[in-house]
Amino acid sequence: MIFNIQRYSTHDGPGIRTVVFLKGCSLGCRWCQNPESRARTQDLLYDARLCLEGCELCAKAAPEVIERALNGLLIHREKLTPEHLTALTDCCPTQALTVCGEVKSVEEIMTTVLRDKPFYDRSGAV
């Protein structure tokens, strides 16, 4: 399961690269830049900056999972089911709630990665 494919990445050194982010990391590093990678399953991401004050559509769609809190939403992740993920992402008009993680085949991943092959060929990358 992956959670992102970052094309044309120039972080962490010279040159460009395509980075495939996998879910299921068990290291638990304190400095982790991608804590959403830890779980091996799909998860719900919440961006408070996109959340509309007073909207409440998510709390109505899944009241057993979502509660309004002073500074946004309280998400009871232990109660999340695949059905909740679908209902919550479908009801959110601003995409403040999104699903992290999708199953892709090696072929699907490589189709995306190989789109950048001309850049790698020109730069001498492997």
| pLDDT tens digits along 4-47 | 999 988 777 777 788 899 999 989 899 988 888 898 999 999 99
- Please give the helix or strand (H or E) that residue 61 lies within, else none: helix 57-61
What's the confidence (pLDDT) of residue 126? 54
The domains found in the chain, sorted by start residue, are 1-41+101-126 (no CATH), 43-100 (3.30.70.20)
| Pair type for strands 2-9 and 17-22 | antiparallel
- pLDDT reading at 124 higher than 80: no
Q: How confident is the model over 91-100, as a mean pLDDT?
A: 96
What is the three-class DSSP state of 7? strand
pTM: 0.77
Length of the chain: 126
